[in-house]
Chain A
Amino acid sequence: MDLQTTIYLVVGLSFALYIGIAIWARAGSTSEFYVAGGGVGPRINGMATAADWMSAASFISMAGLISNMGYGGGLFLMGWTGGYVLLALLLAPYLRKFGKFTVPQFIGDRYYSQTASTVAVLCLLVASLTYIIGQMTGVGVAFSRFLGVSNETGIYVGMGIVFTYAVFGGMKGITYTQVAQYVVLIFAYTIPAIFISMQLTGNPIPQLGLGSSLTGQDISLLQKLDQVVVDLGFGQYTTTTAGSTLNMFVYTLSLMIGTAGLPHVIMRFFTVPSVHAARLSAGWALVFIAILYTTAPAVAAMAKTNLIRTLTPGVVMQNADPYAAESQIKYDERPDWMKRWEVTGLLKFEDKNADGRIQYYNDKSKSEEFKAKAEAAGWKGNELSVNADIIVLANPEIALLPNWVIALVAAGGLAAALSTAAGLLLAISSAISHDLVKGVFKPNISEKGELMAGKIAMACSIVVAGYLGLNPPGFAAGTVALAFGIAASSLFPAIMMGIFSKKMNKEGAIAGMLAGLTITLFYVFAHKGLFFIKGTDYLPLIGGPNSFFGITPEAFGAVGAMVNFIVAFVVDKFTKEPPEHIQHLVESVRTPRGAKAVDGRHA
């Protein structure tokens, strides 16, 4: 069977499975729609949370980024897993005890204020929508690449499929569908990694292979990679940091706090039956996430090694001289996978010195020694540009793995993007139907009416996200980081203070959320343009790029969170204490006993 047919078959089968599950698990009540009736066990919930959490960004682009960044790429790994420790210890069990459907509902009740709840809805919508636009774009790219259709058609197909199971299934459908998606995506990620680890190091476990010696040599893979990339003018793989140590520190912290503050992740902990299960569920979620996340650095380093090995075959395995002309492969003799990816435009070759061979190196290196060597070899600039996002998808092709593995990776990438999009849509729809329609505009709405409002909100958000995905306002990579920044700077501090401080009042919380959100958006928009519209950036106003201690806008969420905390404490000092019954509410949230099934009534 040829590659394209195999891809159709594997992707088609996986989709039939998801839709079948969605139909089988149709939601009948609001409780089932939002929180799956509160009857999901910790392991199943952990698996669904993992699928919900790992988006196209984790599956497709993270390893590629690490591959290019080296050691500094660890900030994604630590940031996106360390957040679960915060979530498990500081938020999940208490929010489960509180026993309501949504994050804005907690904030509204705890801060005895409709305004606080509405501000939280605003933060949630901004964070979730920015996140989902990137996902829909990812869905479009993945579909168009693998089904051989245009980008627009890819997005329409994706919208249709997300719509089908998110709208009809609700949380109950999504939970079981996500379990299936987790299984697909984890096999899709680890199987090629195992093959490649075997090829390079003889060790089938990628996590150990990364720390092993190369087959037939007594030098470790990482040490060899360090040598090889330095020879090509890049920074040493195992030590190159992300910007500065301070930036890496703050960036990691932002991703951690953002992870704990993202509403679609928090919502997952409302679906378990008890406080005890909420604690365990966070642990299981992290186990399932860590299986992919600890494999990713191996994929990254091995893909880099394989890429260099393909382009300069003798250098990695036989210690050939990288500067000798015959070390570099001839363009005419390049492998088939390069030809396939050249069609997409994501891999480009330009023969700058017209010698018919491919020179791949860092032509922006500052090392005089390296520049002299490159010049002596007659190199006239880097000739091959490889988009970081193709690393994971192309990895099995580079390693010449069988067709079914390549097809599996395609199905995995789509599963990752779709499951996250569905979870985000659910968070958006519950915020609108439950917190805005029922909470503010129409408190007497029937359960059926609310369910309908939720479905309409979901359908509308799919259309909006699809439209923005079709016409991206000039941003894709910054989108995901911004979503984290917003969640970190607005929602996380308000929820945490709501549990850990009995005295925090509504004035403090509202002022804190608004201050955190505003300052983060201000710094990000300064770099990326107002609402991401190109040409409206105002860098001179803040004194140039990364002017705040060299911190990049993606890393700014942690600073926003600090501002949120400080403003909240200052305002709290000068305003009235929260009423007695709120302090009792906080006390009751802190103890597990008496946790009952989640219900939708406002207190």
Chain B
Amino acid sequence: MDKQGEAYWKATLGLLTKILAVWFIVSFGAGILFADMLNGIHLGGYPLGFWFAQQGSMYIFVALIFYYAKKMDQIDRKFDVHEE
């Protein structure tokens, strides 16, 4: 792979790592491992840990995918590998 290609792949992996970190923190972190702790805090009538497990993580997942699609478009253009 040429230099340009390697840099593109590195940028892609960097983005994936960031997004997957958030993915992990909201579901496995806030929704499962730290749910008990977060339940002390309330969001309206929702205990926060319960909210992450049954509502919040899903909203964040949707946002993550659109954020990813947008960022990847930018990366594609920056390294000039986008589709015509």
Residues on A close to B: CB < 8 A? 66, 71, 73-75, 77-78, 81-82, 84-85, 88-90, 93, 207-208, 210-213, 220-223, 238-239, 245, 248-249, 252-253, 274-276, 279-280, 282-283, 286-287, 290, 293-294, 297, 587, 590-595
Contacts and interface: CB of A to CB of B under 8 A. Distances in A.
B45 A283 contact: no
Nearest to A77: B54
B19 A85 contact: yes
Contact of A220 (B12, B39, B44, B82): B44
Contacts of A82: 23, 27, 57, 61
A78 B54 CA distance: 7
B61 A210 contact: no
Nearest to A282: B65
Nearest to B22: A85
Contacts of B61: 81-82, 84-85, 286, 290
A222 B46 contact: yes
A207 B83 CA distance: 39
Nearest to A286: B62
Nearest to B31: A78
Nearest to B20: A89
Contact of A248 (B32, B49, B76): B32
By secondary structure, the B interface counts as helix
A78 B57 contact: yes
Contacts of B84: 593
Nearest to B75: A592
Contacts of A85: 19-20, 23, 61, 64-65
A592 B82 contact: yes
Contacts of A293: 58
A591 B5 contact: yes
A67 to B, nearest CB: 12
Interface residues of B, number: 45
B81 interface: yes
B27 A71 contact: no
Nearest to A280: B69
Given A85-B65, A212-B44, A249 B53 contact: no
Contacts of B68: 88-89, 279, 283
A249 B32 contact: yes
Contacts of A208: 44
Given A89-B19, A239-B39, A592-B83, A212 B45 contact: yes
Interface string B41-84: 00111110111011101110110111011001100100001111
Given A81-B61, A286-B61, A211 B81 contact: no
Contacts, number: 139
B54 A275 contact: no
Contacts of B83: 274-276, 592-595
A280 B44 CA distance: 32
B43 A211 contact: yes
Nearest to B15: A89
A82 B47 CA distance: 21
Contact of B58 (A71, A75, A81, A239): A81
A593 B82 contact: yes
B65 A252 contact: no
A73 B83 CA distance: 42
A212 B28 CA distance: 26
Interface centre among B39, B64, B65, B66 (most CB of A within 10 A): B65
Nearest to A293: B58
B33 to A, nearest CB: 7
A66 B54 CA distance: 10
Contact of A591 (B54, B58, B81): B81
B31 A222 contact: no
A322 B8 CA distance: 65
Interface centre among A93, A208, A212, A593 (most CB of B within 10 A): A593
Contacts of A590: 5, 8-9, 12
B50 A290 contact: no
A287 B81 contact: no
B57 to A, nearest CB: 5
Nearest to A287: B62
Contacts of B58: 77-78, 81, 290, 293-294
Given A90-B16, A212-B45, 17 more contacts: A71-B50, A74-B31, A74-B50, A74-B54, A77-B53, A81-B57, A211-B45, A213-B45, A220-B45, A222-B50, A245-B33, A252-B28, A253-B28, A286-B61, A294-B59, A297-B55, A591-B81
A78 B72 CA distance: 24
Given A276-B83, A591-B5, A89 B76 contact: no
Given A283-B65, A290-B62, A74 B43 contact: no
B1 A587 contact: yes
Given A71-B50, A211-B44, A293-B58, A78 B76 contact: no
Contact of A223 (B19, B35, B45, B69): B45
A253 B53 CA distance: 13
Contacts of B33: 245, 249
A88 B28 CA distance: 19
Interface in B1-22: 1, 5, 8-9, 12, 16, 19-20
B11 to A, nearest CB: 11
Contact of B59 (A213, A290, A297, A591): A290
A275 B72 CA distance: 10
Contacts of A77: 53-54, 57-58
A347 B47 CA distance: 32
